[in-house]
A and B are shown apart, each in its own frame.
Chain A
Amino acid sequence: MKEGVKYTGVPTMEELKATPGLVSEARFESGPVAVIECVQEIPCNPCEKACPFGAIVVGQPITNLPVINEDKCTGCGACVSKCPGLAIFLVHKNYTENTALVEFPYEYFPEPVEGTTVPCGGRDGQYLTDGVVVKARKSKATDGTTLVAVEVPKEFYMSVRTICRKGGK
């Protein structure tokens, strides 16, 4: 079974690391930051306009992969709900000493409830760990998308990307 986003829908770590949307390990240590998991060239650039700090650049042609400037990115999360592909995540690796906070766009029922414990999954939807819903919020700006942030053990900061809908614990 071949690996890679073209064969499975799940981008490999190699594919993610090859994009300009992934910041350095050092940047993950210094505070919340956006993680843009956009690995294919498609004509699309709402992320560029979404960032109030100009930290995301697509330029011309608009098939360019988005480039994140890790110094300008403050981790505000404005881009997360703007990506039509739901491919931008907000990661706060050092949320606490032992836990990370991973925020993702979510558009399913049941709507996650703040304060509850949920099964969290990876890019393939498989269960990784339990997490606590710290935030589950919609606003006019998110246009129907719920922004969900889950607190998970720190080692899952680059793997948890969703709440499990199937095969969860």
Chain B
Amino acid sequence: MRVVKHPILPDDTDCDITIYCDGKAIPAKRGEPIAAALLAAGIRVFRETAKKNFPRGIFCGIGRCTDCVMTVDGQPNVRTCVTLVRDGMQVETQKGLGRWAEEA
């Protein structure tokens, strides 16, 4: 959910681009990290662990813990909490360590 109005911060700006998560269109705001757009859309499971397929999502939010990594535009292990959105970006829930698009 987006916090458009806030008791002390100025009004938030509108979403102006679209990214895709597992093929589904998600509204996004230029300048925000991928994880923010996903969380705003209610998506919290970003990947599954390699051996036991446990669901994982964001933890530290500042690019240090790597819990939030997903495959972005064919590149695996991209930290979604510090990588900014681009119009048309393709984000995929990552399984394990992920695979480069060329290997698929």
Contact = CB atoms under 8 A, between A and B. Distances in A.
Interface of A: 107-109, 111, 144-146
B11 to A, nearest CB: 13
Interface string B2-28: 000111110000000000000000000
A108 B6 CA distance: 8
A67 to B, nearest CB: 30
12 contacts: A107-B7, A107-B8, A108-B7, A109-B5, A109-B6, A109-B7, A111-B7, A144-B7, A144-B8, A144-B9, A145-B8, A146-B7
A128 B24 CA distance: 49
Most central of B5, B6, B8, B9 by chain A CB within 10 Å: B8
Nearest to A106: B7
Interface of B: 5-9
B5 to A, nearest CB: 7
A100 to B, nearest CB: 26
Contacts of A107: 7-8
A144 B8 CA distance: 5
Contacts of A145: 8
A86 to B, nearest CB: 12
Contacts of B8: 107, 144-145
A107 B8 CA distance: 7
Nearest to B3: A109
A141 B101 CA distance: 55
The 6 lowest CB-CB distance pairs between A and B, nearest first, are A144-B8, A107-B7, A109-B7, A108-B7, A107-B8, A111-B7
Contacts of B5: 109
Contacts of B7: 107-109, 111, 144, 146
Contacts of A111: 7
Contacts of A109: 5-7
Contacts of B9: 144
Contacts of B6: 109
A132 B55 CA distance: 49
Nearest to A111: B7
Nearest to A143: B8
A68 to B, nearest CB: 27
A150 B6 CA distance: 22
A111 to B, nearest CB: 7
